[in-house]
Structure 1
Amino acid sequence: MSLVYDAGRRVHVRAPGKLNLSFEVGHAGDDGYHDVASVYQAVSLFEDVWATHGDDFSIAVTGDVDVSGVPLDERNLAVRAARLVTRAVGWNGGIHLDVHKGVPVAGGMGGGSADAAAALVAVNELVGGGLSGSELQELGAELGADVPFALLGGTAVGTGRGDELAPALARGRFDWVLVPSDGGLSTPTVYGELDRLRAEADIRPDRVAPTVDPAVLRALRAGDPVGLGKSIRNDLQLAAVTLQPELAVVLKTGTAHGALGALVSGSGPTVAFLAGGEQHGRDLADRLSGDGLRALHVHGPVAGARVL
């Protein structure tokens, strides 16, 4: 492997946000982590990352969304991803990252994980690291459960912590309308609330190991939004709604306007509504906007992190 230094080179990588179309959460283990069974779909909201050579590791962040809460130090997953790649390939120089965010911050759509995935690909490309896709996946799993999927894209089943991935067939296009929230939700806080609710009420998981509902996979294979709308679910939804009760109103509003299915995405608080097609998605977004909600019409599946 021959590493490359080109002071003027700038590598641009784009990675998608995701929705959890099905998200079943198991019991918390002794280490506090939960096994999950999830169906991920990458959708057309993107994070853009540019990597250049630098004297040290640094990052600058802009966005179409509120980025005021995004860390600009070693807490940032993209910075950690850049360090992982340089360490893995033996690169001793610094890296500067410019990030432009299109995925809501702390919205349950994996925007930070998409930044990390894009940084992994961009830095590997910038320095000529030669890491394979599977090697980047392994590095991504060190950063968080959603990073490997942001690398893969498309539609996939995730088990274990969510990072053990198997591609899933999804025929055609699925249209979604997203309603982001003004305030984010911390993923650990939502899981903690789920544990609290399960301790107080009889909503514990039926099985020791979470599984994916076969109806979700059948609907995806058939390209059937009606069937998919009937089968999407998220075990974290109750916890997210408990923490932000206004989400219940948003869910009811979208359903009243004809959404085929509705759920909180991941740990929330972004709410996702499934539409019957592109025009239905546009109409649904217009109706929700008419109610004073910020509504984004997106589609999936889309590709994972890639060099542009």
Structure 2
Amino acid sequence: MTDTGVREMVHVRAPGKINVSLAVGAVMEDGYHDVATTYQAVSLYEDIRAYHADDFSVSFTGDFDLSGIPLDASNLAIKAAQLLARTAKYRGGVRLEIQKNVPIAGGMGGGSADAAGSLVACDALWGTNLGKDALLELAAQLGADVPFALMGGTAIGTGRGDRLSPVLTSHEHFEWVLVLAEYGLSTPAVYGELDAHRERHVADIKPAPQSPTVDTHVLQALRAGDPVMLADSLSNDLQAPALHLQPALVDILELGESNGALAGIVSGSGPTLAFLAQDVESAIDLHVTLSSAGHKVVRVTGPVHGARLVND
């Protein structure tokens, strides 16, 4: 470990994600599920600023209702900082200030982005210099989506989603239009609804595998850089339970898909909806249509880099 004190503040930007595909395995004895997902990091970022302090604290600003975010040691960003401090035997603390742009409980991994950003920020602020591989190992201890928020780009995630394999795409970027809900959805509740759905229809649907896989059509579409092919391959096992819990999302999906979107999908456990557009012009037109209907809409591109330092 090296000396602290050369930086007074560190600024890190960490991206949210879309699950281009998400296959969920059967529930296991511990209540968890293995998944096979295709992540894509998109240009909607959390901004994490880290300052030297004697203890650990976090505060948030943003255009969302922030009242439900814990500010104590249960917060994922604080957990990340404390894990790094224990690992590096660093005796100080950190004050984290986070500008939230990724929706809270929105299925885009905002909390995971905060954790990944905290790891990168504290490593630079404290001069611990653990390196990317070591930070990825710490990220995997914090949550399934945290390693991907650290890595970025496009990747296959298996196991709990934390075993990552990068996917190369020949396309410079894909155009996405996001509809951000004014409310969140509990990830455990959505998984629970999926399990209940499968139990209700056990006689009618094929049993879920213990270890799901990513459809090869998704990988082919990404490698070809073809948004039309990718639109045909979008899939999410959590979409049906999310729509069951929030039926109003169905109308928004239909609105987007009837107004120029190649396809729409619930991102992760929702309720954020991600619409894939053919090109910039189509994305702009769709943005206008959805905004005019009274929805909170953001236009983003992907893939983008994972959590990284910003020079202020």
Could you say which TM-score interval applies, normalised by the shorter chain?
Answer: over 0.9
- Deviation string, structure 1 residues 220-248 (Cα, Å, up to 9, x no partner): 11110001001100000011011111111
Shift of 1:170: 1.7
**Residue pair 1:198, 1:204 contacting (<8 A) in 2 also:** no
Query: Could you tell me which residue of structure 2 aligns to residue 178 of structure 1?
Result: 178
**Residue pair 1:152, 1:304 contacting (<8 A) in 2 also:** yes
Query: Could you tell me which residue of structure 1 aligns to residue 254 of structure 2?
Result: 252
Query: Could you tell me which residue of structure 1 aligns to residue 80 of structure 2?
Result: 81
Query: Could you tell me which residue of structure 1 aligns to residue 4 of structure 2?
Result: 4
Distance 1:220 1:78 in 2: 31
Query: Could you tell me which residue of structure 1 aligns to residue 188 of structure 2?
Result: 188
TM-score by length of 2: 0.96
Could you say what secondary structure the match of 2:114 adopts?
helix
Q: How many residues align?
A: 307
**Residue pair 1:60, 1:99 contacting (<8 A) in 2 also:** yes
Unaligned runs of 5+ in 1: none
What does 1:233-244 correspond to in 2, within 5 Å? 233-244=235-246
Give me the identity figure in percent: 56
Distance 2:84 2:280 in 1: 39
- Deviation string, structure 1 residues 144-185 (Cα, Å, up to 9, x no partner): 000000000000000000000000012221000101111100
**Residue pair 2:56, 2:93 contacting (<8 A) in 1 also:** yes
- Kindly tell me: are residues 55 and 206 of structure 1, through their superposed partners in 2, closer, same or farther at Cα, counting changes over 3 Å? closer
1:96 partner amino acid = R
Distance 2:36 2:223 in 1: 18
Query: Could you tell me which residue of structure 2 aligns to residue 264 of structure 1?
Result: 266
- Deviation string, structure 1 residues 232-276 (Cα, Å, up to 9, x no partner): 000000110111111111111111112111110000000110000
Distance 1:75 1:252 in 2: 38
Query: Could you tell me which residue of structure 1 aligns to residue 218 of structure 2?
Result: 216
Distance 2:180 2:251 in 1: 13
**Residue pair 1:281, 1:297 contacting (<8 A) in 2 also:** yes
Distance 1:290 1:9 in 2: 44
Unaligned runs of 5+ in 2: none
- Aligned-CA RMSD value: 1.2
Query: Could you tell me which residue of structure 2 aligns to residue 32 of structure 1?
Result: 31
Shift of 1:66: 3.0
**Residue pair 1:177, 1:273 contacting (<8 A) in 2 also:** yes
Distance 2:198 2:104 in 1: 27
2:51 partner amino acid = T
- Kindly tell me: are residues 205 and 220 of structure 1, through their superposed partners in 2, closer, same or farther at Cα, counting changes over 3 Å? farther
Query: Could you tell me which residue of structure 1 aligns to residue 304 of structure 2?
Result: 302
**Residue pair 2:34, 2:210 contacting (<8 A) in 1 also:** no
Query: Could you tell me which residue of structure 1 aligns to residue 286 of structure 2?
Result: 284
